[in-house]
Amino acid sequence: MHIITQYIFIILFLVNFINADAQCRDTLIEKENVINKTSLFDFIYQMEGRPKIEIETNYKKLIRDKLKENYQETDFRLFDSKGKVQLNLSGKVRARGNTRKKVCYLPPLKIDFKKSDLDTLGFLKLDNLKLVLPADRMQNNQEKLYKEFFIYQLYHQLDSSYIRTKLVDISIRFKGKTKYQLTGFLIEDEEEYARRNEAKVIETGVLIPSAADQESFAKVVFFQYMIANTDYSIPKRHNIEMVKLPNRAQVVVVPYDFDYSGFVNNKYAIPNPTLPIRSVRQRYFFPGYKMDSALYQNTRAFFLSRKEEVLNFCNEATYMKPKTIASNKHFLRQFFTSLEHPNELKKKMVR
């Protein structure tokens, strides 16, 4: 009887071991599947060429109520660059953007999907898409949007902590009829950025510039000066993300939202009245962002070393008109000229 009990114990142990091992394998498989999953943003970002998005919604209500930021029902269709349907989803859409929804006829949009629908399609449950549109349908505003998109792409060339963007053709439809056809861009949101970089986005608190990662801090303020953008604040986290990256000891600053920059030169963009400049086309360096001489010299040398790359990158932006590309290069050359003759610039930037 004692021997039988031992056999029963051994059998139960083996059964439990096999079950535990199976559960462990299932957990590992589940984790692997999550790791191997992609997000909807990633899926669109990795598509070749320029995808097309159709948004079927009550566009009059969307524009009329844009300041309220109320969600309304929408159908969302995604096509590849050859016109083949890739996705057909239901969701909700609303206006977004603190200033743009006030000054632009067509506001930026946020599209929210059901997490369960994304999960069924094999995507991660990152359920938001952020879309930037031209201020209105005028061709000049389409070109301005291209210029802002280009700034994101340019920062991508200069720093590894960039925010991703993707040009997309957009049709806004209502009751089966197309009301607007234009080109905008998708912009990576905080959750996407954090997942991709294994980072933590810091959403509260005040960041003193001297406490930030100094390489990223200096690169950002030089970059903002290059594009003549004064519509940002590091301490207040205005148009700046603060992120903790796994390979950096200190908080890294990442810029976004460049529609008030002199490079873009939107009609509605005016400098803050407290600044000693009369046009956003004038470059201005905030005194509070001064740096030590060594950091200044290293950052200046970095940008000078990328001069030809930056100017050549302008030529690659063939989605813009040749006249716009020439203007972009001229504006950026002025910045590099100030680096090559740095006496006045050094006085502004070095504490």
Q: Which pLDDT tens digit goes with each residue over 225-248?
A: 999 999 999 999 999 999 999 989
Give the whole-number percent of the chain exceeding pLDDT 90.
84
Is pLDDT at 121 greater than 50 in this prediction?
Answer: yes
Report residue 204's pLDDT band, with 50, 70 and 90 as the boundaries.
confident
As a whole number, mean pLDDT of residues 171-195 equals 96
pLDDT at 280: 98
Residue 222: closest CA among 286, 157, 152 = 286
Q: Rank 25-34, 141-150, 337-346 by mean pLDDT and report only the highest.
A: 141-150
Q: Fold for 198-349, please state it.
A: 1.10.1070
Is pLDDT at 8 greater than 50 in this prediction?
Answer: no
Contact at 8 Å (CB) between 345 and 297? no
Higher pLDDT, 158 or 30: 158
In the chain, domain spans: 1-36, 40-187, 198-349
Contact at 8 Å (CB) between 296 and 203? no
Task: Read off the pLDDT of residues 154-165 as tens digits, 9 standing for 90 and up.
Answer: 999 999 999 999
Q: Find the angle CA(259)-CA(263)-CA(267) to the nearest 5 degrees.
A: 55
Q: Whole-prediction pTM value?
A: 0.89
Report residue 205's pLDDT band, with 50, 70 and 90 as the boundaries.
confident
Question: What is the torsion angle, in degrees rounded to the nearest 10, for the CA atoms of residue 26, residue 27, residue 33 and residue 34?
Answer: 160
Q: Specify which residues 112 forms β-bridges with.
A: 92, 128
Is pLDDT at 41 greater than 70 in this prediction?
Answer: yes
Distances (CA, A) of 68 to 61, 111, 247: 11, 15, 40
As a whole number, mean pLDDT of residues 156-182 equals 97
**109-113 vs 85-95, strand pairing mode:** antiparallel
Give the whole-number percent of the chain exceeding pLDDT 70.
90
pLDDT at 207: 86
Report residue 342's pLDDT band, with 50, 70 and 90 as the boundaries.
confident
Mean per-residue pLDDT over the chain, rounded:
90
Report residue 5's pLDDT band, with 50, 70 and 90 as the boundaries.
very low
Distance CA 147, CA 281 (A): 14
Task: Read off the pLDDT of residues 284-321 as tens digits, 9 standing for 90 and up.
Answer: 999 999 999 999 999 999 999 999 999 999 999 999 99
As a whole number, mean pLDDT of residues 89-107 equals 95
Higher pLDDT, 275 or 12: 275
pLDDT at 36: 62
Distances (CA, A) of 61 to 68, 92, 151: 11, 13, 32
